[in-house]
Structure 1
Amino acid sequence: MPKLTDYIRYADAQQHASSQALWDLFDGDRERFNIAHECILRHADGSRRAAVRIAHADGRDEILSFDALAAGASRFAHWLEAQGIKPGDRIAFMLEPSLPFYVSLFGAMLMGAISVPLFTLFGLDGLRLRMDDCAPRLLISNAEKAAMARQLPGVRVVVADEALLRQLESYPARYQPRSRADDLAVFQYTSGTTRELPAAVKHTHRALVTLMFAALYGTGIRPGDEYFCPSSPAWGHGLWHGTLAPLALGVSTGTFSGRFDALRLMQALQDFEITNLSAAATHYRMMKNTGRAGAYRFFINKLSFTGEPIDPATLEFIEQTFRVPACSMYGTTEIGVVLVNYPGAPDFQVKPGSLGKPVPGLKLQVQNRDGTPAAPGVVGELMLWKKDHWETTKDLARRDAEGYLYHCGRADDVIISAGWTMSAVEIEATLLKHPDVREAAVIGVPDDTRGQVAKAFIVSARAAGEAYADELKNFTRERLSQHEFPRHIAFVAELPKTPAGKVNRKVLREREAAARA
């Protein structure tokens, strides 16, 4: 009987996609289900087939097989039990893609603990917020980050080094999972949040099943693809669409480890003969900006992007370089991917600039302020029908007469920079910790490379100057993360306020737009 992976046409997706068809792709069922088994263990057949290809920033390639990951994850699961870890305990890890990262990720889920991947460039404040929220029993990290993490009380820090890997060798290479489909498996943090204290998005094991609609129709992934996603697996795109989705289908995936370099990425795409690439919009923009894409040979026949809209110049670069349509994939950590462009579907027209159409089975609507459906071409708030009510995506959009949707900006104060979601509130709160800062307001401003960057407006009695601005930038990035800081700083006498006394960021945005115009 055909499976969903046997179909590639848009019309077939609308006809055959169903909840039961998704479950048919897996070993588990609605009662018993484990992500680690579905992604790793069931594909470990002794052939040492590649599961993950890692392009390290220093030029090294690292290939991890399904067999090696299955054995490592099983040993890690046994090791966790020996440490007194119980199902439901949180295991956090702050590691670049590597053997310890994947062993930790899948080993924790295998024995019923909850995996909590964390961005490796978090500073002490950014890490503390998330540790306070999820209260992990263990934090697995490298030696450098472990020294910082040990400043946090109540967290046991374990260094993922050769000594730990040798210790794992003494444990059995097989583990039988006992998790239920509705048991929690992953706590996922956004790269920023509209709250000062970030809350985790909590995913069960069965979330892998729901994910597959977006994987099949957002990235177009199918068995036989040679897949690559350079996004960090600490974030939603890199974890769910760069790691779990391809592995669940037995597809070899690729990723980037270390400081990103566009030339190194293109070298990996050539060397691994990648046929399906899914990346953030900024990754494509940075490849374009090198001016050297013509020096590499590419094999790509499906291509998708997420995180933000792509500018016209980068779209032109993609079409000229890869000669396939650039397929947008839209969603958030909280709601998942909901709009796709069906990469590889011969009967689906990709419209430049469009977010595409809904994932099969989902209902989205652009609404006016009174909750009524907006007419074609009219900008309104993009809403998702979920659990018998309309839920906001916090984005503005418009639809055309054919049902394609277009992004029209954020409905809140979130800033999307190079694919990362940053919170104006969180950056402001950190800036206000500086002894010389009286008031701070942060907005997103356009940037040719990153799409948007954060700009801070500072009220201070201290004399303005470039050295002071650099000090504030470093002050913020050291406490949040290496990407989450204001790249532009303006010193002002006062900030615009609402009648209630709150900072009026809308006025700042309008002033900034007028100044640029």
Structure 2
Amino acid sequence: MIRHDMQGHHDEGGSSAIRQSEWTGRMAKLTDYSSYADAQARATSDAPWDLFDGDRDHLNIAHECITRHADGSGRAAVRIAHADGRDEILSFDTIAAGAARFAHWLDAEGIQPGERIAFMLEPSLPFYVCLFGAMQTGAISVPLFTLFGPDALRLRVDDCKPTILITNSEKADLARSMNGPRVVVADDGLLDEIEKYPATYTSKTRANDLAVFQYTSGTTRELPEAVRHSHRALVTLMFAALYGTGIRPGDEFFCPSSPAWGHGLWHGTLAPLGLGVTTGTFAGRFDPVRLMQALDDYQITNMSAAATHYRMMKNSGKAEDFAFHFKKLSYTGEPIDPATLDFIETYFKVPACSMYGTTEIGVVLVNYPGADDFTVKPGALGKAVPGQKLQVQRPDSTPSAPGEIGELMLWRRDKWETTKDRAKIDEDGYFYHCGRADDVIISAGWTMSAVEIENTLLKHPVVLECAVIGVPDPQRGQVVKAFVIANVDGSDALVKELQTFTREKLAQHEFPRVVEFVTDLPKTPAGKVHRKILRDREAAKAADLVN
């Protein structure tokens, strides 16, 4: 029998591409292998299903992530590092019992499969009870960011129309102002109320039933529709998890990203729990020193974080106060600048592996953390996840040559679809991010990358953070403007120094002709610099001058 896998390879001799494990007598699984070569040979379309109890007909995320691992041992499922210094450890047993009781409570409240249950909570027992309890019943879980203001929250509530919105007492009045969903406060009273229900629940969802509505961290004025995920999304997630974060049983895992966002939910929560791996997260206002304390205390061996998290740890100047135990590191959201990569190499001792994707398309480019036969190139997005096909293209849709910047395209649904990102490849087939399509700056005929100029500025010892955009110029069309957070006071002399520094490292035309020193930069809730806000501000200034 010959069965083709997702990349056109084939294996002979049976219905599974995974051969019998000679040393254990059981069928080997994808989690038994960590090399890049094995990923290419063994990551077939069938292989991830072997990691779960469910099948293509019936599957439930809550069962796979929590219930089946609740064996009465009290084994930790989630470690929560609270900003105030507290550590909270939640076991699989505790979450499973609470989620089952919450599921029964939803049934008693008349909630039907397909209804939306939204919750705006920090990581906590109520958060996980609500997340998994709703999914057990066939309802759809909708995590919402706790720092949403009224406009951002209203747009999302109007879009997903939840029957119930669960939040804490602090946010209750804001939630009630939405004038739609029933608001439930997730406090000890709710936990006491559900205590009367059974601690077990039998899920009957089908694999293709919707399980989660996920929102991106877009602006309130340009709110995308919720990305809708079925229960089987947990299975398709595993390629990106196994080869993007390198997650394997036995890891001590941590992801400080909020589970209201795609990275924190899917890679920080569902992927590790689905494999029975204890995960860790952060609750409250982010503090890089508190994070490093938790990484030390929990002896974390595998962390996946946003690029901003690594940069903030570097800027804290406190890394030498802690011991680190890393074997695998990954990051997402945006490229990491060279200075932060040097920090990671100095203090964490393992390479930081980029994983690239979006809430809409998932993770598609990875660096295979933990694979001894894969060379991690600093700054590279890596290579495709098994089964994915990507290409950098020119405007005429032909492939770009190595080193030539073009548009990053993804093969999906039998056609090339744009990622809205610019990229290039090298001679070895590694992909490199060159900014969003609208982050390209064209000045006097020269095409420049905002990301490249930012990375160069960040190498200067006084620059802590920066953002680069193109601003209108009557002669050049656009010129480069840099917004800089420095550890010294800004001055005309420093502007010239930064300009010279950039020109000497890049090209004579490639430098910020305008530099503005600032104390903070606008960021998305996920922590990425929000260049669009800067562009809008500059456009408004230009319009005011004209008027």
- Partner residue of 2:339? 313
Task: Quote how far apart the aligned CAs of 1:360 are.
Answer: 0.6
8 Å contact kept, 1:50–1:252: yes
SS at match of 1:74: helix
SS at match of 1:494: helix
Task: Quote how far apart the aligned CAs of 1:450 are.
Answer: 5.7
Percent of aligned pairs with the same amino acid: 71
CA distance in 2, matches of 1:397, 1:10: 23
List structure 1 runs of 4+ shifted beyond 2 angstroms: 193-198, 446-457, 480-493
Deviations 1:304-341 (A, max 9, x none): 01000001110000000010011001000000000000
Could you tell me which of 71, 74, 81 is aligned with 1:45?
Answer: 71
- Partner residue of 1:410? 436
Indicate yes or no: 2:54 matched with 1:5. Answer: no
Q: Which residue identity does 1:86 align to in structure 2?
A: Q
Q: Which residue identity does 1:272 align to in structure 2?
A: Y
- Partner residue of 1:435? none
Q: CA distance change for structure 1 residues 204 and 385 in 2, over 3 Å: closer, same or farther?
A: same
Q: Which residue identity does 1:120 align to in structure 2?
A: T
Q: What count of residue pairs does the alignment treat as equivalent? A: 448
CA distance in 2, matches of 1:156, 1:453: 44
Could you tell me which of 56, 75, 80 is aligned with 1:54?
Answer: 80
CA distance in 2, matches of 1:121, 1:195: 17
Task: Quote how far apart the aligned CAs of 1:144 are.
Answer: 1.3
Q: Which residue identity does 1:202 align to in structure 2?
A: R
- Partner residue of 2:279? 253
- Partner residue of 1:504? none
SS at match of 2:222: coil
8 Å contact kept, 1:230–1:254: yes
Could you tell me which of 343, 354, 359 is aligned with 1:333?
Answer: 359
Deviations 1:77-121 (A, max 9, x none): 001111111000000000000000000000000110000000000
Could you tell me which of 29, 41, 59 is aligned with 1:15?
Answer: 41
**Greater shift after overlay, 404-413 or 252-261?**
404-413
Deviations 1:199-231 (A, max 9, x none): 100000000000000100000000000000000
Task: Quote how far apart the aligned CAs of 1:411 are.
Answer: 1.4
- Partner residue of 1:93? 119
Indicate yes or no: 2:541 matched with 1:492. Answer: yes
8 Å contact kept, 1:282–1:450: no
- Partner residue of 2:8? none
Indicate yes or no: 2:307 matched with 1:281. Answer: yes
CA distance in 1, matches of 2:204, 2:256: 32
SS at match of 2:268: helix
8 Å contact kept, 1:286–1:449: no
**Greater shift after overlay, 195-204 or 128-137?**
195-204
> Looking at both structures, which has the greater relative contact order when contacts are Cα pairs under 8 Å and sequence separation is at least 6?
1
Structure of greater Rg? 2
Q: Which residue identity does 1:494 align to in structure 2?
A: A
CA distance in 1, matches of 2:221, 2:230: 23
Task: Quote how far apart the aligned CAs of 1:197 are.
Answer: 3.6
Could you tell me which of 360, 381, 386 is aligned with 2:412?
Answer: 386
8 Å contact kept, 1:201–1:333: yes
Contiguous gaps of at least 5 residues in structure 2: 1-26, 441-456, 473-518
8 Å contact kept, 1:282–1:451: no
- Partner residue of 2:227? 201
Task: Quote how far apart the aligned CAs of 1:188 are.
Answer: 0.2
Q: Which residue identity does 1:188 align to in structure 2?
A: Q
8 Å contact kept, 2:341–2:352: yes
8 Å contact kept, 1:121–1:482: no
Q: CA distance change for structure 1 residues 151 and 133 in 2, over 3 Å: closer, same or farther?
A: same
TM-score, normalised to structure 2, is: 0.78
Deviations 1:393-429 (A, max 9, x none): 1100000111000001101479xxxxxxxxxxxxxxx
- Partner residue of 1:226? 252
Indicate yes or no: 2:320 matched with 1:294. Answer: yes
TM-score, normalised to structure 1, is: 0.83
Task: Quote how far apart the aligned CAs of 1:137 are.
Answer: 0.2
CA distance in 1, matches of 2:177, 2:470: 30
8 Å contact kept, 1:44–1:66: yes
Could you tell me which of 111, 129, 132 is aligned with 1:106?
Answer: 132
Task: Quote how far apart the aligned CAs of 1:198 are.
Answer: 2.8
Q: CA distance change for structure 1 residues 12 and 150 in 2, over 3 Å: closer, same or farther?
A: same
Q: Which residue identity does 1:264 align to in structure 2?
A: R
8 Å contact kept, 2:217–2:525: no
- Partner residue of 2:391? 365
CA distance in 2, matches of 1:35, 1:393: 28
Indicate yes or no: 2:350 matched with 1:324. Answer: yes
Could you tell me which of 204, 224, 242 is aligned with 1:178?
Answer: 204
Indicate yes or no: 2:148 matched with 1:122. Answer: yes
Deviations 1:452-471 (A, max 9, x none): 499999xxxxxxxxxxxxxx
CA distance in 2, matches of 1:275, 1:406: 27
- Partner residue of 1:31? 57
Indicate yes or no: 2:95 matched with 1:69. Answer: yes
Indicate yes or no: 2:165 matched with 1:139. Answer: yes
